């Protein structure tokens, strides 16, 4: 009887060790899937917040630049009425207006390039986060569906995870027109 008991005990111990090992592996993979999902959400929220702030900064920069050039144009129109003591201002305004007339495209080009790089970077981060989530789901689901884990996955309370599929409202790329960017920028 001792021999039978030892055999049954050994089999039960091995089976318990296998179950605990599988449970721990499932737990780790499930945690990785949740982390990847959270990272994806962070990337989407970051994109939304960053685009709003970047558009506001570019718009403010453009508005300030516009006011400067309007002020300079106004002063340039009054150049004929300045006296001799304003020669430095006159020369500066003439150089500024010549620069502006020669290179009208230099206005806010830098900030707009920066905004475009933010848009591209944010899109890439969201895409990478979504891809990472789906990679973790594939790994988890494959692990769960292979024999013998398939037999005891449900018994341990683990179920197949769904891949990321975006509904239109949740993952809509922010419309820059909604962020009050003038189309002529």
> Is residue 130 within 8 Å of residue 63, measured between CB atoms?
no
Comparison of pLDDT for 37 and 80, the residue scoring more:
37
Domains in the chain, start-ordered, CATH in brackets?
2-153 (1.20.1440)
Band (63; pLDDT cuts 50, 70, 90): confident
> Is residue 137 within 8 Å of residue 143, measured between CB atoms?
no
Closest residue by Cα to residue 118 from 126, 128, 130: 126
CA distance 20 to 14: 10
Instruction: Inform me whether the pLDDT recorded for 185 exceeds 50.
Output: no
Kindly report the backbone phi and psi dihedral angles of residue 173, in degrees, each rounded to the nearest multiple of 5, phi listed first.
-70, 130
Q: What is the pLDDT of residue 26?
A: 85
Q: What is the pLDDT of residue 39?
A: 86
For the chain, what percent of residues have pLDDT higher than 70? 69
Q: What is the CA radius of gyration of the chain?
A: 32
> Is residue 72 within 8 Å of residue 97, measured between CB atoms?
yes
**Three-state helix/strand/coil letters over the chain:** CHHHHHHHHHHHHHHHHHHHHHHHHHHHHHHHHHHHHHHHHHHHHHHHHHHHHHHHHHHHHHHHHHHHHHHHHHHHHCHHHCCHHHHHHHHHHHHHHHHHHHCHHHCCHHHHHHHHHHHHHHHHHHHHHHHHHHHHHHHHHHHHHCCCHHHHHCCCCCCCCCCCCCCCCCCCCCCCCCCCCCCCC
The chain-wide mean pLDDT, for the chain, equals 75
Q: What is the pLDDT of residue 162?
A: 80
At 87-114, the pLDDT tens digits run 666 666 666 666 665 555 555 567 777 7
Comparison of pLDDT for 6 and 62, the residue scoring more:
6
Instruction: Inform me whether the pLDDT recorded for 144 exceeds 70.
Output: yes
For residues 56-65, give the mean pLDDT.
78
């Amino acid at each position: 009887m001792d021999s039978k008991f030892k055999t049954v005990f050994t089999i039960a111990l091995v089976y318990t060790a296998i179950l605990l090992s599988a449970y721990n592996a499932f737990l780790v993979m499930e945690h990785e899937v949740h982390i990847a999902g959270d990272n994806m959400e962070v990337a989407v929220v970051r994109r939304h917040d960053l685009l709003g702030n970047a558009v506001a900064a570019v718009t403010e920069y453009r508005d300030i630049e516009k006011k400067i050039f309007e002020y300079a144009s106004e002063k340039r129109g009054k150049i004929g009425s300045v006296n001799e003591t304003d020669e430095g201002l006159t020369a500066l305004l003439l150089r500024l207006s010549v620069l502006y007339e020669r290179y009208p495209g230099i206005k806010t080009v830098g900030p707009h390039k920066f905004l475009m790089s933010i848009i591209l970077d944010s899109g890439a981060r969201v895409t990478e986060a979504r891809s990472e989530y789906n990679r973790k789901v594939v790994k988890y689901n494959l692990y769960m569906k292979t024999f013998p884990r398939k037999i005891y996955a449900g018994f341990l309370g683990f179920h197949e995870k769904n891949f990321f599929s975006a509904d239109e409202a949740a993952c809509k790329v922010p419309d820059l027109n909604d962020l009050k960017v003038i189309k002529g920028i």
